[in-house]
A and B are shown apart, each in its own frame.
Chain A
Amino acid sequence: MTARITDAGFTFLGEADPALTGISLELSGGAMTAVLGPIGSGTSTLCRLLAGELAARGTLSGTIDCAGTVALLGDDPEAQLSGMTSHVSDETQLACRLRGYAPADARARALHMQRQLGIDELWDRRVDTLSGGQRQLVALARILAPGPDLVVLDQPAQSLDPTMRARLSTVLKEFCAHGGSALITGHQIDELTRDCRAVHHLDSGQLRPATASKQSIGVWDTRPDAAEPGRKAPTPRRDPLLTVRDLRVERGRTRILDSVDLDLRPGELVTVTGANGAGKSTLLKALVGLLERTATVTGTITLSRLGEVTHVDALPAHERSTHLGWVGQDPGLQLCAATVADELLHSAPLPAHRRRDRTEVRRRRRSVVDSVLTDVELSSVAEEHPFDLDVPRRKDVVIASALMTGAPVLLLDEPTIGRDLAGMNRLNAIIGRVLGRGGAVVATTHDQRWAGESAHRNLRLANGRAQA
């Protein structure tokens, strides 16, 4: 036995209602266990409780017995790395060295874990150049390298491509075969949870029998084989809204994108898939003109609207915003106002106006903000701080700020990360409204099922090239 939770409950300081009640769970050595539930059900609280992070933050009832060391991977994709190191090799050795392993042993363990996870080529890379998925893998290598007895992984697969998920599953199985124990929590059923010996469902802080249907417990099934046939909509047959030709991006001597072509029609959702680090985020940033100055971008990007053709590639980034609404992968990096409503109010500059018309212009802006908040189902949290929201809701705030510009094309970078069933339904509704108005959406994703069911077309990026 590695950990036993008996009739445990937890109430955060200042809260009247418990976050968890009556939890009894045994995590035995040699087994992978999954606990799934919608956002707010208490999955992350359970993880942090097991890792001993909540001792000073509330009241615990019941007992938690852990034999051995516990390692935790948190759920926030923006908070996976320590911030102490600049290079991947230092980051993956960090936990070993902090626990007193000799440098040679720490290096061997980190290198071994990177090889197992298939990221040994990242050894010398700077951590600030990693993609979201690569960051997640590096964090996994760091926590697994010292060989803890129990690993607690909160949404470990959220930024990983299907191949990497399968690979992580193999690594965890091997870890368990050597006597370790793994607890995986999340809001999605995926390749990792499929391989768990036991799957429990958490609902409003209480464990439920695993017999309940996925719909009833509010989790989303990401596996491609769970796709419902015949849901895919036909591709609209209209002239392209956005045309991309021969797009190439180079960083130094490395070619990230090579001759990428894309036609995006009004009412069309195109998903972009590919392995972690394939260049999906780079593609979207190249379209909107946000790549760093050292990157070389060539090719043409044109937007045709109401018979008018705009050469977007000739415009600076801020002028592209009227045509392309970009939503980056990490929402926390794009938000800075104190409330959701303020974020939208000040996200885009006011249109040119005379001083005497300012009151009227501001009134109109507030009216647009209210309308967008309703569209994105954020009205109820309009006065909350964006950082108090969960990650998918934060992403919705950034999507809402992109809608404020009225751009006909939306570029969404990993919009499905961390979403439960309700979050997926919300995302589909937002995209549906954009497409219904004659707009178009390009979304990068690792969610094969969502891409298969919702997108009109999928582009797969491999070796810098796009394959339809």
Chain B
Amino acid sequence: MSPVRPEPATPEDDIIRPARRLHPATELVILLCGLLLVFGVPSPIVPTLIIVGTIGTVLSSSKMSLRSWSLTVGLLCLPTLLVLVVVQGLFYPGTEVHVLWQAGPAHLSVEGLSIAVQIWLRVAALIGLCALFGLGSDSARLFDGLRRLRLPAGLAYVCASAIGLIPLIGARTRHIIDARKARGWAADSWTVRIRLLPGIVVGLVTAVLLTVEQRHEVLEQSGLDTRPTTVALQDHRDGPGQSLLRILTPLATLGLIIASVAGLLPLPGASQLIGGA
């Protein structure tokens, strides 16, 4: 029985079309292949190209805010850069090194710097790509992408819920900070925020766990697990072109990595670029 009888779709309903964007499954394949390339080809050129491509995509995307992407990437990448420059750049343990600058036990070497740059570029490319996908997608979109790639519904749901935690934690943190401001804490200051952090984190974890359980109940009531999911939760553009892309991209990625390992890809390493060696 179905008491709700929808009206026939009106012409204006036909206007509702999926956004001009790749299918989430295609995006996931590109994301994974990009990461494979970053870690499979030992040249800073690859992560640099991927970072540039990611920035270009963010700039041209109407769904993504450049500010939130930059803040996320900056917040995660800058501390990594600092640690790498100190640990690898200034205190590289090798003996046969080309020293560029020295002060006491600290010495800036081409070898240390090249390792720091290589690692940082890889981490920055990883974070940038993941942020591009994570900030531009919601749980339903990821769920659809994973289901299209034939992952079991349970596993796809767990992954999709996990990505939903990012905005949830962000929103909850903002609400708690607002509540603290409303009680007199100058929470715009980072020193005050750090003071409040231990108290906030405990409450945040409890609230997030509760919310995850409540959301699962809402989804169960909405029909999750009642039947195998055969219908996408959102409308996406797909077609033979994208299916081909999903097959060719991994093949091309594997080809590039094999060529690099076999020495057939003449890309310069970080030490060559920095020291000209």
User: Which residues 177-211 in A have Cβ within 8 Å of B in the complex?
Assistant: 178-180
Q: Is A317 an interface residue (CB 8 A)?
A: yes
In the complex, B183 has a CB within 8 A of chain A: yes
On whether the beta carbons of B160 and A346 are closer than 8 Å, the reply is no
Q: Does B186 contact A (CB under 8 A)?
A: yes
Contact B223 A99 (CB under 8 A): yes
Binds B, one of A33-41, A329-337, A371-379, A454-462: A329-337
B10 and chain A: residue at smallest CB distance: A111
Please tell me if the beta carbons of A51 and B221 are within 8 angstroms of each other in the complex.
Answer: yes
Contact residues of A between 79 and 119, Cβ < 8 Å to B: 79-86, 89-90, 93-95, 97-109, 111-113, 115
Q: A74-B218, A81-B218, A147-B4 are in contact. Are A317 and B176 (CB under 8 A)?
A: no
Contact flags A6-45 to B (C-beta < 8 A → 1, else 0): 0000000000000000000000000000000000000000
B205-245 interface code vs A (CB 8 A; 1 in, 0 out):
01100110011011111111011011111110000000000
Task: Indicate if the CB atoms of B231 and A106 lie closer than 8 Å.
Answer: yes
Pair B184/A322 contact, Cβ less than 8 Å: yes
Instruction: Say whether B138 faces chain A, with CB atoms less than 8 Å apart.
Output: yes
CA distance A338 to B224 in the complex (A): 32
Task: Knowing A51-B221, A71-B221, A99-B227, say if A334 contacts B184 (CB, 8 Å).
Answer: no
Residue among A105, A144, A147 with the highest chain B CB neighbour number at 10 A: A147
Complex partner residue of A179 from B3, B160, B164, CB under 8 angstroms: B3
Of B196-204, B251-259, B268-276, the segment with at least 4 beta carbons within 8 Å of chain A is B196-204
The residue in chain A whose Cβ has the minimal distance to the Cβ of B137 is A86
B179 interface neighbour in A103, A333, A404, Cβ under 8 Å: A333
- As a 0/1 sequence over residues 119 to 152 of chain A, the CB contacts with chain B under 8 angstroms (1 = contact) are 0000000001000000000010011111111000
Minimum CB–CB distance from B211 to chain A (whole Å) comes to 7
Q: Is B172 an interface residue (CB 8 A)?
A: yes
A401 at the interface (CB under 8 A from B): yes
Contacts of A429-451 to chain B: CB distance below 8 A: none
Which residues from chain B contact A95 at a C-beta distance below 8 Å?
222-223
- Judge whether A326 is part of the interface by a CB distance below 8 angstroms: yes
Q: How far is the CA of A317 from the CA of B188 in the complex (A)?
A: 10
CB-nearest residue of chain B to A149: B1
Cβ-defined contact, B230 with A100, below 8 A: yes
B182 A404 Cβ-Cβ under 8 A: no
With the chains together, A236 CA to B40 CA distance in Å? 76
Choose among B138, B161, B176, B204 the residue that contacts A86 (Cβ–Cβ < 8 A): B138
Return the contact of B138 from the options A51, A84, A98, A335 (Cβ within 8 A).
A84
Q: What's the Cα separation between A405 and B180 when bound, in Å?
A: 11
Chain B residues within 8 Å of A330, by CB: 175
Residues in B39-70 with C-beta less than 8 Å from chain A: none
Inter-chain contact B203/A79, CB cutoff 8 Å: no
Known A-B contacts A82-B215, A103-B235; the reply to A346 vs B199 at CB < 8 A is yes
* Interface pair B222/A111, CB less than 8 Å apart: no
Contact for A328 among B179, B188, B223, CB less than 8 A: B179
Chain A residues closer than 8 Å to B175, beta-carbon distance: 328, 330, 333-334
Contact B232 A97 (CB under 8 A): yes
Interface presence of A283 (CB below 8 A): no
Alpha-carbon gap, A113 to B5, bound state (A): 9
CA distance A90 to B7 in the complex (A): 19
Our pick among B181, B206, B207 for the contact of A317 (Cβ within 8 Å) is B181
Q: Is A402 an interface residue (CB 8 A)?
A: yes
Q: How far is the CB of A242 from chain B (nearest CB, A)?
A: 16
What are the interface flags for A59-87 relative to B under an 8 Å C-beta threshold, 1 for contact and 0 otherwise? Answer: 00000000010011010100111111110
Docked-complex contact A336 and B181, CB < 8 angstroms: no
Give the residues in chain B near A405, CB-CB below 8 Å: 183-184
* A316 at the binding interface (Cβ < 8 Å): yes
When distances are taken between beta carbons in the complex, the residues of chain A under 8 Å from B181 are 289-290, 317-318, 321
**Are A100 and B184 within 8 A (Cβ)?**
no
Which of B202, B207, B219, B233 is the most central at the interface, judged by chain A CB atoms within 10 Å of its CB? Answer: B233
Bound CA span A148–B202, Å: 39
Contacts of A144 in B (CB 8 A): 4
Q: Does B13 contact A (CB under 8 A)?
A: yes
Check if A220 is an interface residue, CB within 8 A of chain B.
Answer: no
Let me know if A108 and B8 touch, CB within 8 A.
yes
Q: Is A347 an interface residue (CB 8 A)?
A: yes
B217 near A84 (CB under 8 angstroms)?
no
The answer to whether A83 touches B4, judged by C-beta atoms less than 8 angstroms apart, is no
CB contacts (< 8 Å) of B207 on chain A: these are 332-333, 336, 387
Interfacial chain A residues near B2, Cβ < 8 Å: 146-147
Given that A74-B218, A84-B219, A317-B181 are contacting pairs, would A109 and B6 also be in contact in the complex, using a CB cutoff of 8 Å?
Answer: yes
Most buried by A among B1, B16, B164, B230: B1
Q: Which of B1, B167, B200, B234 is the one whose CB lies under 8 Å from A90?
A: B234
B97 at the interface (CB under 8 A from A): no
Task: Pick the contact of A333: B3, B6, B172, B220 (CB < 8 A).
Answer: B172
Of A145, A333, A387, the contact of B206 (CB 8 Å cutoff): A387
B1 with A179: CB separation less than 8 A? yes
- Cross-chain contact B202 with A97 (CB below 8 angstroms): no
A53 in the interface (beta carbon within 8 A): yes
Instruction: From the candidates B199, B221, B226, name the one contacting A143 in the complex (CB within 8 A).
Output: B221
Per the 8 Å Cβ criterion, residues 64-101 of B in contact with A are none
Name B182's contact: one of A81, A104, A326 (CB within 8 Å): A326
Task: Say yes or no for A230: interface residue by CB 8 A criterion.
Answer: no
Q: Which residues of A contact B139 (CB under 8 A)?
A: 83-85
Chain A residues with Cβ below 8 Å from B4 are 109, 112-113, 144-147, 175, 178
Interface readout for A224-252 with B: 1 if CB under 8 Å, 0 if not? 00000000000000000000000000000
CB distance from A55 to the nearest CB of B (A): 11
Q: How far is the CB of B185 from chain A (nearest CB, A)?
A: 6
Hey, which chain B residues are within 8 Å of A318, CB to CB?
181-182, 184-188
| A-B complex: 8 closest residue pairs judged by Cβ atoms | A336-B203, A98-B223, A147-B2, A147-B4, A178-B3, A79-B214, A334-B179, A180-B3
Q: List 5 A-B contacts (CB under 8 A).
A: A85-B138, A89-B16, A180-B1, A317-B178, A332-B207
